[in-house]
Amino acid sequence: MSIVQADNLRELLLSQTPMIDVRAPVEFATGALPWAANLPLMVDDERHRVGLCYKQRGQPAAIALGHQLVAGSVRQQRIEAWRAFIAAHPTAVLYCARGGLRSRLSCEWLAELGVDCPQVVGGYKALRGFLYRYLRDHSTTQPLTVLAGMTGTGKTALLSQLGHSVDLEGAANHKGSSFGRPLDGQPSQTNFENRIAIALLTVQHHHPGRTVVVEDESRTIGARHLPPYLVERMANSALVVVNVPFEERLERLWQEYVVERHADSLAFYGDGGDQQFADHLRASVVRINKRLGGLRTQQVLALVEQALVAQQRDNFASHRHWLAALTRDYYDPMYSYQLDRKRDKIAFSGSPSEVLAFLRNH
């Protein structure tokens, strides 16, 4: 019986072909494709036992143990999960770690029931390798345009209006600042890099010849690290700076870091949402205390406490006080210093509408 093999990795990624990942959940959590479904041939404990058997007694004994562990109703349940996914996604492909025994066996079991599912040549290792090389090569050979601006200028919103942009914060599931930590966590480092590479690949496919635009970021976004070759490319790229009045920036930060965050906390934590929101604000201030300094940290925390007490009476208006102090005394000076060091790289500076027009036309 022959197994159909899917070997056009670029097309699989560009089309976001539905994928069945038959690796164990612990492998999937470390790195996977964003749209892949983890329907394992063996769960973590089974894989661990088979791995130990392989080390102690060799491959034949390990294969025999695997068949023993995944047999009868267990085997039937896993095949049915694959069949259901393929029925819902007729173009689906299947992969394991390296395109070896697990994916081949899974495809064979499906084929015995008359279901054909292509096996990805080289498995996840080949997909990951393709994305790693693409991101590295793009970063070392292709120009970027970096969108800069003070905190609260709406850079991410501007990027979303450009077809030839990549949202690095979106890939990291983090809004960049101490206050932008997500409720649902960040992707693994590998998945973060995979997301960036897929976004770059997609942009270049749909907008060939256009220079990709990214937001000005530090080396880290939350707990995720930009690859060093991407950091170097960004540091040597042309800057486009968006300028927005302070009060308008403050209003955007208030809406995003206070109003929306509070609503998200209530939706995510239910009755504990208010407490989670308060704890989040306090922890976010404390997290930057080394750069704020002890006295300023205490002053901002005092304003936060006053706002938390008053928020139900004044519809969260008091939160603007600590946000204004933090923006004026911390974020703006820090960003001004960083921008001054890059003055020679600024290609354009203007209002949001002017910047958007420039980026669309250049």
Residues near 254 by Cβ (< 8 Å), separated by ≥ 6? 316, 319, 320, 323
Q: Catalytic: which of 53, 96, 107, 117? A: 96
CB 217 within 8 A of CB 168: yes
Token pair belonging to 177: 């600042």
What's the chain's Rg over C-alpha atoms?
25
The angle at the Cα of 156, spanning 268 to 215, to the nearest 5 degrees, equals: 125
Q: How far apart are CA 316 and CA 307, in angstroms?
A: 7
Burial label for 205, CB within 10 Å (0-12, 13-18, 19+), is: exposed
Q: How far apart are CA 22 and CA 28, in angstroms?
A: 9
| Count of helices and strands (H, E) across the chain | 19, 12
The answer to whether the Cα torsion of 40, 43, 46, 52 is positive or negative is positive
The answer to whether the Cα torsion of 52, 54, 60, 62 is positive or negative is positive
Active site residue 53: no
CB 124 within 8 A of CB 20: no
CA distances from 177 to 46, 205, 309 (A): 41, 31, 24
Residue 214: DSSP 8-state: E
Residues belonging to the active site: 96
